[in-house]
Structure 1
Amino acid sequence: MKYTSTRNGSIVTSFEDAICSGYAPDGGLFVPECLPPITTTHLQNWSALTYPELSQTILRLFIAPDEVPEHALQNICTSAFEGFENPAHAVPVIQVGSIFVAELFHGPTFCFKDLGMRTVVNLLSYFSQKRQRSITLLVSTTGDTGPAAVRAVSDIGNPLLTILVHYPEGQISEFQRKQLTTVDSSCVRVATFQGGGDDMDRPIKNLLSQQSYTDSNTLLTGVNSYNIGRPLMQMVHYVWTYLRVLEELGKIPGDPDVKLDIVLPTGAMGNLAGGYMAKKMGLPLGKLNAGVNANDITHRVVQTGEFYKSETMLKTLSDAINIQVPYNFERLLFYLTNGQHDLVRAWMTTMDATNRLNLDREWLTVLQRDFNSARLSDEEMCTTIRSTQEQFGYLVDPHTAIAIGAAQKLGCGLDRVTTVHPTVILATASPCKFEESVTAAITGAGWAAYLQNGFPAAARGITELPERSPIVYLAKAGGTLSSWQAEWEERARAIVADLGAANGYRCVTQSK
């Protein structure tokens, strides 16, 4: 399997180069040259596989054996799920009320990012050792990506694989911050910046594109969901969830009468892109429904075709999906147009230059065939947490609550089903990570009861560890976002060099 850019079909590269590069060289996102079909026979053969086995089987469709031999891929997938509550069945699928909930948060950092991140980091570690080339990961996080990446890098303990992670100051939960600042590893650096959730994206993209191979044994890459490895791995939990729901319904996989409608909290659209790719391959999915908060660019484009960046990032109680421009929308456009590189390039050139893109009525109609959306306020999200607990005894985090509330608005809530398809909520995180938001919904007494009766023991251990002060990137008075970003880029470049020195190698990037 080869990989190409969403913006240029003449760019063709290997899986190794695609996953190690992050962005394509023209600024686009890597996608497989083709999507192999998922047939009824596949689904029936896969139904008895464990989660690591299913991951290995699906990844093999996208990774040639001469890049990663079978035994190596098996080790990568098996070790990725060590630390999960039940590695063989990493994603429990349960029924709550009248719909299904896929609990994606039973990994070591209590969120769905573990499902994709740990395998991606394992693959990068494999390639670093295969080539004896050091790799530094550059990450910006609004809450869950960073802890998952830091934990994966720390667990591997490969001195050739290091990470610099950034988070927006005051815009992630206390627990998420502690997941970053309590890690003691020479392979990890943590920085916070005084800006909006995706304000570090441009400096990171610049660093990735400006690499100088003065030292040919060094590489910078990113593992946010623009990296093709993330949506590839996120396809796995869609297939797994489909198979488990069919089991619950007593149906045979591939039954033509059963499709799943999916509702999920949506930020950068990586999870949504994984689902759409799986659907394009033949997985029997109906609508993919995005739940969003007040930072609602995804909702606006699905409902009106207006893909406009907002002027400001709004603080919400569901910070992990705070986003101004979800980069995976580019992959959705690529598959929406059946791979029209030129059209995607024209659209994204307009978006990059103006922060605005208008889909005409024809393409909006195509988008709405597969996607729907709903927006929730903080108040509505809190109401959803309370009502879900009161009616069903099921406590959810604020992001899962966004999905449940979106399902209710779209006519397929926990207490009623008006669609012809079974509905699945993707529960993306444990409530243990969001004390402030959950307390706002169920009061301090409710949180105290959860601490006593439901809080994971492993999470409690993190809260008791000493923190290390992060590096701070300032937004200096009188400056502009672009001037701040230029300074942050230089700070990151210096930290990357320090990481290399601390781990016995030299990584050089060109200054603008």
Structure 2
Amino acid sequence: MQLNNLKDPNQMVDYATAVKTGLGNNQGLFFPPKVPQLPNVNELLAMSTTARNFHILQPLVKANISDDALRSIIANVFTFQSPLKKINEQVACLELFHGPTLAFKDFGARFMANCLQHFSKQQQSSEKITILTATSGDTGAAVAHAFHGLDNIEVVILFPQGKISELQQKMFTTLSGNIRTVAVAGDFDDCQKLVKQSFDDVDLVRAVGLNSANSINVSRLFAQICYYFDAVAQLPVAQRDQCVVAVPSGNFGNLCAGIMAQTMGLPIKRFIASTNLNDTVPRYLKDGIWSPNDTVETLSNAMDVSKPNNWPRIEYMIESGQFARQDLSGLAVDEMQTENTLKTLYQMGYISEPHAAVAYQGLQDSLAEDELGIFLGTAHPAKFKSSVEAILNIELPLPDAIAECAEKTDLSTNMSADYVSLRNYILG
């Protein structure tokens, strides 16, 4: 299957090229011109997760990855579960934080790393690859751990200084070897801007084999499709066509993957894009005007994004007639609502964290009596230990994955939001 550059219709590439280059000409995103539809979805939902994931991913990558190789990659990547935790008779949380870095980003980052490693071995290439990525929280840890120690791959991770939780930060800034981390004096949008400037620098791209592991890389998007099928497979058969999914949304890759899943045939009735005060998309869905404001710091910091990179993919799905605009609504949740929703969930016997609370509030605002709601739990509550403990007045134990890095030294470098400084750092 060929992938189009959404900004340059003349650029069409195969899956391997899209994964290895990240962004296309003019900073364009790669995307399938037509998302393939899967036959016999009910049969897929009855399969094991591993078998099902093969049938989901095979049509998307078959031009570059053999069936045997894909099965091997799937066996390496999907080594943890996505349980659907019941909150009440009408609502459940899809827990996506049971991977090695306790966040949903583990799915995409591990799949991308395994694909890149496969392509390198396939071509017997010794060329160096430099992964440059920006994180507003969980991407950093997932990418760092997925690529740590891989031959011929250097990783540079940018994050907004002082704007992510300390425990989130420690999970990727305490590694060494081929992982380098940079605390940028600015917000996440500043970090994304630096990444885009780097990809516009043709000489730099060639010099270091620049690639990105952000959700702009289509490999991450493809892997995330799989857990939407996991969610629906755990629902009673009779209720599947009344399923409503609320997605905590920042850069909008997670929602895009869900929309792709529905397009492939998964019976999801509609989606809710739940954001925090960075409400560019909910406002756009309401009035049709795209007007990003300055990024605002919130409790749900991984969603502190006012210019979401993945929105053009969703827009393309709507404009090309593959996804119905009426199947998507948006809701912005303020800080007081986030705190109150966390408390509500706790009173119901479920300890959550700010991002999932934002998604849950999306369901509360619009779920009909005959609908079944799923909200995505994108990170373990302990990754936001200080805020969750303060809001709920409880003490959270640290999972082993976090406790192991909490006492380690932060190895990140401080830098201004200046492209020349970053370029010199990457080359150095």
State the TM-score, normalized to the length of structure 2.
0.94
Q: Which residue of 2 aligns with 1:401?
A: 357
How many residue pairs end up in the alignment? Answer: 425
The answer to which of 143-152 and 204-213 deviates more is: 204-213
Q: Hey, what's the Cα distance between the residues in 2 that align with 1:53 and 1:162?
A: 32
Given the alignment of the two structures, is residue 491 of structure 1 paired with residue 427 of structure 2, yes or no?
A: no
Q: Which residue of 1 aligns with 2:182?
A: 191
Q: Which residue of 2 aligns with 1:290?
A: 273
* Kept after mapping to 1: 8 A contact 2:135/2:188: yes
Q: Hey, what's the Cα distance between the residues in 2 that align with 1:456 and 1:197?
A: 27
Deviations 1:293-314 (A, max 9, x none): 111112111222222111x221
Q: Hey, what's the Cα distance between the residues in 1 that align with 2:321 and 2:21?
A: 21
Equivalent in 215, 220, 233 of residue 230 of structure 1: 220
Going from structure 1 to structure 2, the CA distance change for 1:169 and 1:214 (only over 3 Å counts) comes to closer
* Kept after mapping to 2: 8 A contact 1:140/1:198: no
Going from structure 1 to structure 2, the CA distance change for 1:53 and 1:161 (only over 3 Å counts) comes to farther
Going from structure 1 to structure 2, the CA distance change for 1:62 and 1:371 (only over 3 Å counts) comes to same
Going from structure 1 to structure 2, the CA distance change for 1:103 and 1:215 (only over 3 Å counts) comes to closer
Going from structure 1 to structure 2, the CA distance change for 1:383 and 1:26 (only over 3 Å counts) comes to same
Match of 1:193, SS? strand
Q: Which residue of 2 aligns with 1:473?
A: 415
* Kept after mapping to 2: 8 A contact 1:6/1:339: no
Q: Which residue of 1 aligns with 2:402?
A: 459
Unaligned runs of 5+ in 1: 341-362, 413-417, 475-483, 499-512
Going from structure 1 to structure 2, the CA distance change for 1:111 and 1:215 (only over 3 Å counts) comes to closer
- Once the two structures are TM-superposed, the CA of residue 250 in structure 1 deviates from its matched residue by 4.6
Match of 2:290, SS? strand
* Kept after mapping to 2: 8 A contact 1:386/1:441: yes
Q: How much is the aligned-residue C-alpha RMSD, in angstroms?
A: 2.1
* Kept after mapping to 1: 8 A contact 2:280/2:292: yes
* Kept after mapping to 2: 8 A contact 1:16/1:127: yes
Q: Which residue of 1 aligns with 2:245?
A: 262
Deviations 1:373-406 (A, max 9, x none): 222111111111111111x211001100111122
Equivalent in 100, 125, 144 of residue 150 of structure 1: 144
- Once the two structures are TM-superposed, the CA of residue 212 in structure 1 deviates from its matched residue by 3.2
The answer to which of 290-299 and 122-131 deviates more is: 122-131
Q: Hey, what's the Cα distance between the residues in 2 that align with 1:60 and 1:165?
A: 30
Q: Which residue of 2 aligns with 1:49?
A: 48
Deviations 1:37-90 (A, max 9, x none): 123x1331442222x43333211111125x2122222222211234xxxx3xx1
* Kept after mapping to 2: 8 A contact 1:128/1:134: no
Unaligned runs of 5+ in 2: none
Going from structure 1 to structure 2, the CA distance change for 1:385 and 1:27 (only over 3 Å counts) comes to same
Going from structure 1 to structure 2, the CA distance change for 1:494 and 1:53 (only over 3 Å counts) comes to farther
Given the alignment of the two structures, is residue 429 of structure 1 paired with residue 421 of structure 2, yes or no?
A: no
* Kept after mapping to 2: 8 A contact 1:432/1:456: yes
Q: Which residue of 1 aligns with 2:135?
A: 141
Match of 1:57, SS? helix
* Kept after mapping to 2: 8 A contact 1:128/1:160: no
Q: Which amino acid aligns with 2:70?
A: L
Q: Displaced runs of 4+ in structure 1, greater than 6 A?
A: 213-216
- Once the two structures are TM-superposed, the CA of residue 330 in structure 1 deviates from its matched residue by 0.3
Q: Hey, what's the Cα distance between the residues in 2 that align with 1:461 and 1:102?
A: 26
Question: Which is greater in Rg?
Answer: 1
* Kept after mapping to 1: 8 A contact 2:41/2:266: no
Q: Which residue of 1 aligns with 2:234?
A: 244
Match of 2:217, SS? coil
Q: Hey, what's the Cα distance between the residues in 1 that align with 2:204 and 2:376?
A: 41
Q: Hey, what's the Cα distance between the residues in 2 that align with 1:20 and 1:271?
A: 21
Deviations 1:154-194 (A, max 9, x none): 1xx2221121001101100010111122113x211000111
- Once the two structures are TM-superposed, the CA of residue 339 in structure 1 deviates from its matched residue by 7.0
Q: Which amino acid aligns with 1:424?
A: I
- Once the two structures are TM-superposed, the CA of residue 371 in structure 1 deviates from its matched residue by 0.8
Q: Which amino acid aligns with 1:31?
A: F
- Once the two structures are TM-superposed, the CA of residue 243 in structure 1 deviates from its matched residue by 1.2
- Once the two structures are TM-superposed, the CA of residue 115 in structure 1 deviates from its matched residue by 1.4
Given the alignment of the two structures, is residue 33 of structure 1 paired with residue 33 of structure 2, yes or no?
A: yes
Deviations 1:126-151 (A, max 9, x none): 22333312211101111011110001
Q: Which residue of 2 aligns with 1:315?
A: 297
* Kept after mapping to 2: 8 A contact 1:142/1:322: yes
State the TM-score, normalized to the length of structure 1.
0.79
Q: Hey, what's the Cα distance between the residues in 2 that align with 1:386 and 1:320?
A: 20
Q: Hey, what's the Cα distance between the residues in 2 that align with 1:78 and 1:495?
A: 36
Q: Hey, what's the Cα distance between the residues in 1 that align with 2:206 and 2:342?
A: 52
* Kept after mapping to 2: 8 A contact 1:318/1:437: no
Q: Hey, what's the Cα distance between the residues in 2 that align with 1:263 and 1:214?
A: 37
Match of 2:26, SS? coil
Q: Which residue of 1 aligns with 2:78?
A: 81
* Kept after mapping to 2: 8 A contact 1:128/1:161: no
* Kept after mapping to 2: 8 A contact 1:128/1:135: no
